[in-house]
Each structure stands twice: as C-alpha cells, then as structure tokens.
A and B are shown apart, each in its own frame.
Chain A
Amino acid sequence: MNVDAEGAVPREDRLASIARDLEHAAHLLPAQGPISVFIHHNTLHAFESQSFEEAVAAAGELFGCEPYLSEATYRDELARGRITADDLAAVLARDLGDAGDRAIAGLCGRGELRRASLEHGISAPDEAALAWILAESDALTRLRRDLPEATRRRWLDRGRAIYGRDRSTAAIERALVRELHDACLRGARRAPAPSVTASRPLRPRDRLLAARGIDSDALVHPTLIRLAGAYLDQGIAYWPMPGRERGLLRASLDLLGPEGAAAAADPELAARLPGALAALERGGALASIAASLDELGIDDGDQEPFLRETLLALRGWAGLFRQLEERPDRAPVHAHPATLADFVALRLLLERAALARLTRAHLGQAGSLRERLAALPEAPARAPSPAHRAFALFQRAQILGIEASALDDLDPAAVAELFAEIEGFDAVERRRLLHLAYERRYRLEILDAIALHAAAPVGAPAPAEPSFQAVFCIDEREESLRRHLEEIEPSCETLGAAGFFGVAMYYRGIEDAHPVPLCPIVIRPRHEVEEIAVGDEAERARARARSVRVVGRLRRGFDVGTRTFARGTLLTALTGVAAVVPMVLRVLFPRLAGRLRRRSRDVLWRGPSRTRLALDRRDDAHPHLGEVMGFTKDEMAAIVRRLLEDLGIAGRLAPLVIVLGHGSVSLNNPHESAHDCGACGGGRGGPNARALAQMANDPAVRDRLAQEGLEIPATTWFVGGIHNTCDDAVILFDTDLIPEATQPLVERARRALDEARTRDAHERCRRFDAAPSWLPPTLALAHVEGRAEDLAQVRPEYGHATNAICVVGRRARTRGLFLDRRAFLVSYDPSGDDEGAILARILGAALPVCAGINLEYYFSRVDPVGYGAGTKLPHNITGLLGVMDGHQSDLRTGLPWQMVEIHEPVRLLVIVDAPLQRLRAVLDANPALRQLVEGRWVQIAALDPGGPEIDLLAAGAALRHRPTSATLARAPSSVAWYRGRRDHLPCAQISGAAPGGAEEARR
C-alpha cells in the first residue's frame, strides 16, 4: 500500500503526476457552472483542437454519446425531401474525389456501393437479433421491399432465366434470395478475419461488471451523491453539513468516521478510514488518491486513463466541483473550498470499500483486494460472426444487383477488398455523410436566398435618412422583431450588436440583493453600477424596501416553517386549506394569477417611479465586486464610440436611437438563465442598453467624442430598453428625460414597437402546438404572456432552438428577407474598414459566442440524454446548483429536451458581408477564429459587398457558390408567409418591407 516502501516512484513526483493527470482529465468534464447562470458553450470545447468530424467521433467513443443524428432520422429526412439524392451524390463525390470511380472487387464502383448504403437503410442487428431476423422475418424469403422497381424487375428476370418461367414469382424470389445469402455467407467465410481490438476497461468496477454482472457503483453512488450534494448545497437543506470549511474529503471522513458511526454498518469502509485520514493529514487528497490507486492495483501507465474514466463515471458532479474550484466566485451563496482532488479521493475511497465488500462476497475471501481484482477474467474480444458479415453484404448485393455467381467467382484478394470496403464504411461514416448532405441542403437554400436577394431585392428602398434607428442584440430571436418593425415602419433602420453593447459591468438594481456581472463570461468587469432613486423618490424607495423586507421574511419563515415539525403542524393544519386558492388560480388561470400578483404588489407598496443609473465614477463609494464604482467620461466616450463604429452609424445618426437589450422571465424553469442574453453572461441586458443610452446622451461624453471627430447631433437622443423574449414585453427606460422635441418621434417608435412585439408573439406562436393557428396577434401576445406565468409550462419559449446562420454585415443585405428567426444578425459596414480592424473585433467577439450557442444546441439535440439534460419532467433542483433526474442521479448538464426538440442540428453558417481577402486576413490573424473555421466547427462564407457573389471557405480554399435555383419565394408580408405553418420555413422575400436597394449595396 505504501509507495515509499515499494520505492517505485519518489513520493513528490508521484503526487505531482497524479495532480497533472487529474488536471488533464478534468478538461473533459462538462464546463457548466451553477445553473442559475447558464452560459452556452461548445459541449466539446476540450476537443476543439481537432476537426469537428474527428472530435464528434472521438468524444462519442469516450463519453458513449452519439456523434450525429441517427441514420433512421436522416433517412426520414431523405424521404420527406429535406435531404435530396443530389445532396448525397454531391457529398459522396467530394468525399471520395477520384477514388469514387474505383471498382470494388470488379463488381461495382466505390461511390455506387457507398451511395447504396446511404440511400437504403442497412440494418446492422446484433448477433441475437440477426438470428431472429434470419429465422423469423421474411429476410431470407423475399427481396427487400425498398428496391427500385427496375432493380426488382431485373432480379426477377434473372431468376426466371435460372429457375424457369413456370415457377411462381414467390418461389423464384425465395430461391434467388436464398442463393444470394448462401453466396454471401460463403464469401464471409472466405474473407480474412477482421482485426478486433478488445477495449480493456481500467476501472475495476467495469471489469467486475463485465465478468460477473455486479455493479459496485450501485453501492458507491448513493453515498457519494449525498455527500457531494450536502457539501455543495447553497441553502436547500435546513441543516447544513458540518465542517464544510475543511473541504469535502475531510468533512466526509469526519461524518463517516467513528464519531459519525455511519461506517459501522460497513466494516470494509471502517477499516479504510484511519488510513485515509492519515494519508489526508500527510499529503492531502492526492496522497489519499495515491493510496487508492495502489490498493486497486492501477499501474503507473494506466493512471491517466483510469483517472479519466473515474471522473467520467459521475461527470456532472465532478464537473461542478471543477467549476467551483476554478471560479469560487460563481457559487451563488457559499463558496466552500471545493476541489476535484477531494471529490476523486472520496470517490476512490468509497469504491475501494464497495469493491472489497463485493469481491469478498462473490469472489471468495482469499487474498487482498488487489489480488482478487487481478484474478478477474478479461472480457474476450468479440469479432463479428460470418453470418453477421454476410448479412451486411447480402443487403447491399440486393440493392446493387450483384448476383450469387459473381460473388462466388471472386478471388480471395477481391473478397478481402469487398469486405474491407463494406466494413470500413461503418455507421459513423455513413452518418457523417448523411449529416453533410443534411447541412448541404440547408446551406444551399440559404446561400441561394442571400444571393438572389442581393441580386434582385424587392419592395421600397431602405431610407437614406431613417426616422429612427433601433439597435438590438445579435440574438437570432430578435430577427423576427426587427423584421416586423421594419415592415410596420419602413422608414426605420434596425441594427445588431452583442447585447451588452460594450458596457461591461457589475450591476445592482434598486431591488437587487447582489450585484451581478453583465458582460460576456470571458470578461471580468472592473466597473460596478448601481440603480438609485431620484430625489424625493428615495424615501419612497426606502419605505418600499422596508415593507418588502418584512413580507419577504414572513414568506421565508412560512416556507421554512411548513417543512418543520411543530411550526409545520400549526401552519399546515390551520392555514393549509387556503393554498387551494393560489393553486387553482395559478394552475388554471396563470396569466390572471400573474396579473393579480403584480396588481396587488403595486397597490400595497409602490416603488419609486423614477430611478437612474449611477454611472459616473465615484471614488467615495466602495464596490462590492468590481474594482471601481462607475465609469469616467473618457471610458464612456470610448464605449459609445466603439459601439457606433461597430454598427457603422457613427456619421449618420437618426434623431432617435433606441437600444434594446433582452432577457427572459419564466416560471417553473430551472434553465431560465439559458434563455437570457449570452453576451451578458446569462444575465438580462436591459441595464446595459440603459447605461449605453445614458452615456451617449451625456453632454460631457458628447463633447469628448466631438473632439475626437465623432459628432453626435444635438437633435439625436438615445433611449435604452429591454425586450423580454418570453412574453414579448418591451420596456423603455428613462422616458421622462426625453427632450420635448423628440417626444412625438418616441411615441411613434413606441407604437411601432408595440405592434411589432405583438406580431413577433404571433410569429413565435406558430411553433407552439398549444397555440391554435387561427389566433389573432393580440391573443397570441396573451398566449405568450400566459406561458411566462405558467407553473406547468416546460417550454416558456424555444430559446435558441432555431439558430442556424449568422450574417455579419449591413442589414440592407438581408432586409426584406424572411429568415425565420434562424439568423444571428451582426451589423458591420464594410466600407471604411479596409484594414479589417473593425471586422476583426466584431468577429472575434461574436463568432465564438454564436458558435458556442450553436454547438451546444447541436450536441444536446443529437444526443439529448448523453450530451443534453434529458427530459425536464423528472428534473429535481439540488443545492440550487443543478438538476438531477429523480432523487439521486448525476447532475444533468447541457440543454433539456424541451429546449432542443425542434432544433435542426446544423453547424453555424456564417456569412460575412466583406471582401474575401479581408475575411481571410482577419481569420488568419486570430488563432481562436482560425481554429473554429479550420476545424470546421462553423461554416463561413464571404458575401461580396458590391454584388451577389458568395465564396465559401472550405478546407483552406474558396469555393464560389453556384446558385441552384433561379427564383426566390415572395410574400406580401411575414404573416402571409408563415401563417398556418408550424415547421421550419424556407427564406422568402417580403415585398412589403424595404430592402437596401442597389445603391446602398454598392456604397
């Protein structure tokens, strides 16, 4: 047990190597922090140095997850025309290149053989199922049903020639099929045996499970999950775990140890506790891990993979320990010293005890645990049987019309070639190609639409001098709101920028308990901003805070009280019946209940009607989390300048600029934060928009900008606001400050926004089965409002489920094009950015965020249970940190099924309105972007700023997009295009809206 005694490795080195291996393996853990702040990221971030195709295959192998959708799903898409035969032919041709024409065993072309496998379902049953299929189904009596008519006729003609015309078709078919199968079987017997590498599991648990069907994790996990949950709990348990300040391992050992006496029932555990405690004292958790590795008999060479497999056994919990170890500031309430090493050490200790108990009970008393484990038989490698290999050939032979005699005539080399080709084109390869075809179809549709729209826009031209400008987040959920706004108010211009609008801050609203960071997760804000009441409103704010606090304390007392013994008795027996009123109201009439709640709150204690952000730098106040309170005027000027430059409107500001952040408020939704603004780090971007507007209106800031040559006209006013993507509410801030001259314009914009959000709600409702398609827009708005308040609603909104493309460029290039809420829209004006500096900073910020969202949805959709969080229905919030299935499971990371069910998993298609050379230069200069593009984690194309030509960057080369269709669907308005249709819709030109026009495109 003692390494020093064995003298194999010097002690310090040993611990350092364990720490290193642990660190290395930890990269594979889910990078999801506490669920109250949900940040979208590429689920396979750890694999980003590989290409997408390699990564999904490698990760699929490692995690036991799916790399793509299932073959059956793609084939359904093939059947309904979502993938076409053209797509399959094109991706096969690209994939094989010249090798596609090579004949395989002289029987058929390689491409032909692969195509047959892709177009027809090739079933690969396991051995037992195959025996059943051969014995019980009609596989050996009839030809496949899905054969094309011509092929079938050819087979039957040949059969008649061989077996005579007088026999019945059924008899001929039976004889043909039988003979073909026999020939395949003979071929399979002649073929060289496939090389099979047995995967040797390193965890003793896996070996015990494989050899004897005994699962030691069934003993380990309940205890481990309870201890880990108790340790990390942020305030659900009435009685917190004692001794948490000393770390998980120490606190658990104290609980399990003689004082806690929990180990009394488990002598094996009791026997190991003193040793574990001593190791912990001597060398910390790593020493305890070292002792466990020794007892389990893990060789040095196996150490890293063993630790990896151990971590992945409960990867949700392990990942959370890792996250809290790296970012303790992200713990919602208590940041106890969580370390991954503690978690692994505890896990291995429990595993040793469980394995000792089980092996003693089932494998005999003799020897040490290590010896008993070493004696476990290895699971033999299973090569596929000849029947199995024959069945794979048999199915293809029918499709391709390869006859039995042709197979029998093959020489050994040809047989080997045939089987190597068939078996080399395995299920993952087939799914990869089907996926490429699936993506190709969508890519072509979009590129066609963009090119056609650029060549021949419809409708009235965009205003040269817009009446007002509205700036939104780049979020694809804002695409529909922008489109409707433009349809309603053709004189306005809409723009998109990352939804924190360059204002990175910790923000504390007037009612908030703590400041929260509102900026992308990669930034740690320096500045802290508070919302304060204005003038005589301050007293009212204080009064309100007092009464809210009293009510809050009462409610907390009630909630906790109902769960206790004596207070619970009084409260449930005496007041419980009253709960029937809120229950019936909230379940049956959610929207009404929400209104009543808000109404009563307003009547009971009205808050201050006027507040402001304390934006100016204050050196007298101490920030809670940031470094300084507020911004200096210079910092504000820089922020405003950068945003206006990014948007490309620095020199052409309208009299009114509305800046709208976004967020999402819903009930009964542990994943609520996943619907908020990603650019605000899973927060709500209203304060950022408000801060930006306040900065841009500040005369001192305007002075500074004017000195730098950026003139904001005195007639221009900025208004901040927030769009709630769940109930489609739009709120504008600080409307009391608007100059009188701008008021009528704000009124007009306000009316347009109200109409636009109503139509937006209507468009969103087409996706909700529960919203009938005849709903008029006003009722649709009521419907989405009800969803947000509904306790029973597991789909308050569909979030980013429709994301698929990202357009970086002038809105004029896409204005008037119905993009079905599928496009992130990032404003960028290619004129005046010849060096590409602005493009570089826009892409550097936006692309990783959009790709992260897109890839998280991809993986949660292709494997909803492995990469995603599974269905929400049994989710159970634990420790305020995450969700489990039921009462004790691994933490479920990723997105729940209800969020991704309508998602089409395709890689993000980025279309950049910039010259190809500029785009290339920008990508080459930024390693992070280059990795995303070269690894094919995103697809990227350059749209010629002066015309409709599109160049797709693929494998280092640029491919000119050749339009596959000559016309684009056209509709008078968005609603005319989507009404009555629930699925994803193709693009269409909305003739009522105003596209950019040729002049602007040429500008």
Chain B
Amino acid sequence: MISAELGRALVVGAVTLPAGLWLVMATAALVGAPLRERWLSPVARTIFSLTALALVSGAALLLPADAAAQAIDLGEWFAAGDHAFHLRLLADPPALIFASLCAVLCGVVAAFANRYLHREPGYHRFFALLALFATGILLIALAGSIEVVFAGWELVGLASALLIAFFHERPAPVESGLWALTVYRLTDLGLLGAAVLVHHFQGSGDFDVFLGTSWPIGQTPLSAGQAGAVALLLLFAALGKGALLPFSGWLPRAMEGPTPSSAIFYGALSIHAGAYLLLRAGPLLDAAPLAAALVALVGLATALHATMVGRVQTDIKSALAYASLTQVGIILVEIGVGLRWLPLLHIVGHATLRSLQILRAPSLLHDFHTLETAVGGHLPRTGGHLERLLPEGTRRRLYAASLARWRLDEFLIAAFVAPLRRLSAGLDRAERRWCALLGGPAADDHPVPEDTSKGGGDAR
C-alpha cells in the first residue's frame, strides 16, 4: 500500500512539475524579466528529466496495484448546486503507459531543444510553451474525468498553435498557426458537447461513472443511443487534434515550427491524443456499434488519404507528417473494430519511432549518403507497383489529386469559411443599412478588408 501511495504521489508530482515550470516562466515573462538561457537551461532540463523519471517510476509502482489505488482524487474543483466537478486523475494501465510515453518524449525533446534552440531569441517562449504542452498532455493521459480531459485538451491546443506560429516574424507560420487554432476550436466543441451530455445523462463527468471501472472491459450505464451520441461527439473532437479527414490540412502546415516541436506534437503526442481519447471511451464504442463503425470508417479514409498524399510529398517533414497520419488512421480502425491493447501498443511504438525520425529529419542528406554507400549505388526506386497496377490515366489523376492534398483545405474554405464570411458580410451590410436608416448615411464608408488567404505562400 505504501508503494501505491508513493506511486500516486510521483504521478501527481509529474503533472505538477511542468505546470510549476510554466507558472514560473509565465510570471517571469509577465513582469518583463524572462529567464536567461544560462539559468533556464539547467532548470528546464532538470524539471523535464524529473517529470519523466517520476512518471516512469510512479507507473512501475502503480501498474500492479488494484483499481481503487489507481484513482487519485485531488478534491473538488468547483461545485454548483447538485453538480460537483472533481479534480480527479486515473492512473490505470492505459493512462500510465500513455503518460509515461508523453513524459519520456517530452523529456527527450526538452534535452534536444536545449541544444537545438541555443541562442534562439524565442528560447524562453519555446520552453514555456513546451511546459504548458507537457502539462496538458499529461492531464489528458491521466484524466479521471471528462472535465480534466477538457482542461488538458485546451492547453495542448493552445500550446500547439502557438508553437506552429513560433517564428511569428514571418507571415506563413502565423497563418498556419491560425489555421490549426481554428480547426482546434471548431472541433473542441465536440469535447465540450460530450462533457455537457455526460453530465446531463449521469450528473457527473467522472470516468468511473460513465465508463465503468476496469478498462478495457468497463460497462457504461448509458443507453446505446446516449453512448452513441457521446461517442460521436468525442470522435468529432478527435478529428481536429488527430488531423483526421476532413481536417488533415493543418498537419503539413504545422511543420512551420522548430523541428523538435514538430517531432513531439505532430509526429508523436498531439496527433495521438484523439485516438487515446477514443480508446479511453472504448466502453461507449462497445455499447454503440454504429459509432464504432464510423470511427473505423473515418480512420480508414484518413489512412488511405494520408498514405496516398504522403507518397507524393517531396519534403521530408511533410512526408513524415503524412506517414504519421496514416498510422493514426489505422489506429482508429483498430479501435473501431473493438481492439484495445493493440492500438495502445501501436500508439506507443509509432509515437516513439516517428519522433526519432522527425528529430533526424535534418540529417536526411547524411543518412541518404550512408545508405547509398552501403547499397553501393543509387537506391532502388520506389512506387513501381503503383505504376504496374494502375492504368496511366487513373494514375495521373490519383497523383494530381494527391499532390493537391485532395483539395481538403479548399473544401473546408468553400464549405465553412466562405459561407461564414458571406454571412458576416451580410450582417455587416444589414448593420450599415440599419445605421443609415437611423442616423443618416455615414460620411466615411470603410471598405471591408479583403482577404484571399489560402495560406502557405511565403514568397520570400
């Protein structure tokens, strides 16, 4: 029991450490005295190493413990009337495994970034955001209630968008960051909706209440319809963070940030957050086969999309981003068909391998040369079987579509952005007419600023 106590303390400590670091750094920045690299560097390295160590050893202590020992109640967050929101962590096996992965990868990336961002003017900002991200992703991993998930989810989203826009002196990163933020905000509605529904149905957002206790075979008290509705909303939430269809377009754009943040977020952790959420909500999917089928379908479509688009990418970071997305799609299929341990293993294996690949991306020329040396000539051509299997016209169409990334962004603009802009332009016109009617014609008619941003073209 002592070991379980210690384990719980270590897990809570692991979540608190990056949060504390962020708080200190944010305060320092707020009072206009950001920490110098010389001081920050050892502190950040220590904090992130301690986080990883605490979590891994906490996990080792807690994994064999019983279910009761794995629930960590940190008290009431706030209460309103009959409703109480608990600040509750759940350190059961999937949470411990995913959280250990997060902590180790954050630790490695912090060590990497410490040298990679040496002398960079945004050094302080990067580590503040990394700490914020680590807090968020650990909250998602260890959440014991849907409210805690939501808190982590928002922190991760904010940190990600700001890190994509890290080089804010150029327009392209800022546009890309805004694009990602918009997608996140839109799909976050799914998580918020799910939280509201769960509270409505059960009066509590705690996992043990609506997902049962013993993952992965928990029994949900919700009816099939209720479970399906919540599961679909969670799927919608996962669409954004996981870059699933039709929101995949932000993923290559996310490569605008520095290499280490790309590695950890879009190759490894952030992109798996949606899959992890659905994995946690497995009992809901078990109770709602239709929703489960939809998860598998979205996963399959995403995997097909990503593998085709990924095959034509000619820059290493985009190629790796789409390779990641392919696996995330497949993981969703696995979840959809009712597997639980395999997708968890898949997440851990894939996240680790892909982060290493992205961290190595700038060594590509070196590695390519080494491989050519080993093989003793040019590397064998790839993609031959596609050319054998498909007739030329189809092949060309498929290639062109893949190169254009299936025009997903254009679709989103046409389907969502353009109508919204038309609506606001209409409202603007109505307002002007209304004002003119009431107060006479305006003297200075400000034109509505025009905007053609489709993003991307940083024409330096």
Contacts and interface: CB of A to CB of B under 8 A. Distances in A.
B356 A240 contact: no
B313 interface: yes
Interface string A866-882: 00000111111111100
Interface string B423-460: 00000000000000000000000000110111111111
A577 B452 contact: no
Contacts of A582: 356
Nearest to B306: A565
A545 interface: yes
Interface stretch (A217-225, A734-742, A914-922): A217-225
B31 interface: no
B349 A575 contact: yes
A229 B303 CA distance: 24
Given A214-B450, A260-B396, A791-B363, A583 B460 contact: no
Given A362-B450, A573-B350, A769-B118, A242 B456 contact: no
B330 A215 contact: no
The 10 A-B pairs with the shortest beta carbon distances in the complex, nearest first, are A576-B349, A552-B374, A221-B457, A260-B400, A886-B256, A239-B383, A563-B323, A878-B315, A576-B353, A572-B350
B357 A562 contact: yes
Contact of B401 (A262, A549, A562, A568): A262
A169 interface: no
Given A667-B363, A874-B256, A886-B256, A235 B115 contact: no
Interface in B207-243: none
B454 A218 contact: yes
Contacts of A230: 312, 314, 403
A795 B453 CA distance: 36
A794 B450 CA distance: 40
Given A568-B327, A583-B359, A672 B365 contact: yes
Given A262-B404, A576-B350, A553 B316 contact: no
B307 A877 contact: no
A219 B452 contact: yes
Query: Taking each of B259, B260, B371, which has the highest tally of chain A beta carbons within 10 Å of its own beta carbon?
Result: B259
Contact of B317 (A223, A232, A887): A887
A513 interface: yes
Contact of B119 (A254, A262, A874, A901): A901
A238 B383 contact: yes
A667 to B, nearest CB: 5
A611 interface: no
Nearest to B350: A572
Contacts of A545: 376
A215 B455 CA distance: 11
A538 interface: no
B392 to A, nearest CB: 8
A618 B355 CA distance: 50
B181 interface: no
B255 interface: yes
A259 B255 CA distance: 31
Contacts of A888: 315, 456-458
Contact of B365 (A214, A568, A877): A877
Contacts of A161: none
Contact of B312 (A237, A871, A884): A237
A236 interface: yes
Nearest to B330: A569
A456 interface: no
A537 interface: no
Nearest to B176: A886
B57 interface: no
Contact of B452 (A215, A237, A587, A878): A215
Contacts of A584: 104, 108
Interface in B310-333: 310-321, 323, 326-327, 330
A255 B403 contact: yes
Contact of B315 (A362, A672, A876): A876
Interface residues of A, number: 112
A360 B320 CA distance: 39
Interface in B376-400: 376-383, 386-387, 392-393, 395-397, 399-400
A19 interface: no
A282 B378 CA distance: 37
B376 A513 contact: yes
Interface in A757-779: 769-770
B362 interface: yes
A885 B320 contact: no
B125 interface: no
- What secondary structure prevails in chain B residues at the interface with A? helix
Contacts of B113: 792
A580 interface: yes
A256 B457 CA distance: 19
A513 B353 contact: no
B77 interface: no
B359 A889 contact: no
B244 to A, nearest CB: 16
A548 B374 contact: yes
Contacts, number: 331
Interface-central residue, B364, B372, B400, B450, by most chain A CB under 10 Å: B400
Contacts of A216: 452
A220 B454 CA distance: 10
A265 interface: yes
Contact of A259 (B259, B318, B373, B393): B393
Contact of A874 (B108, B258, B407, B456): B258
Contacts of B351: 576
Nearest to B121: A871
B457 A562 contact: no
Contacts of A572: 327, 346, 349-350, 353-354
A218 B452 contact: yes
Contact of A871 (B120, B311, B379, B407): B120
B373 A512 contact: yes
Contact of B352 (A563, A579, A890): A579
A221 B327 contact: no
A239 B323 CA distance: 13
B375 A885 contact: no
B316 to A, nearest CB: 5
B214 to A, nearest CB: 24
Contacts of B365: 35-36, 670, 672, 877, 880
A548 B118 CA distance: 37
B259 A873 contact: yes
Nearest to A551: B374
Contact of B310 (A36, A256, A563, A889): A563
Given A254-B396, A562-B353, A874-B173, 13 more contacts: A215-B452, A222-B455, A229-B315, A235-B368, A235-B379, A239-B399, A239-B402, A259-B396, A552-B375, A576-B353, A670-B365, A874-B259, A878-B316
A889 B315 CA distance: 11
Contacts of B392: 242
Interface in B160-188: 166-167, 170, 172-173, 176
Given A255-B396, A670-B365, A313 B257 contact: no
Contact of A583 (B119, B355, B372): B355
Nearest to B112: A792
B369 interface: yes
Contacts of B257: 874, 886
A512 B376 CA distance: 7
A212 B404 contact: no
25 contacts: A219-B452, A222-B455, A226-B403, A230-B314, A233-B314, A237-B311, A362-B450, A549-B375, A553-B380, A556-B375, A565-B304, A568-B327, A569-B327, A573-B350, A574-B349, A576-B350, A583-B108, A584-B104, A588-B111, A769-B119, A791-B363, A877-B315, A878-B316, A885-B256, A886-B176
A793 B360 CA distance: 11
A919 to B, nearest CB: 41
B253 interface: yes
A218 B350 contact: no
A220 B457 contact: yes
A213 interface: yes
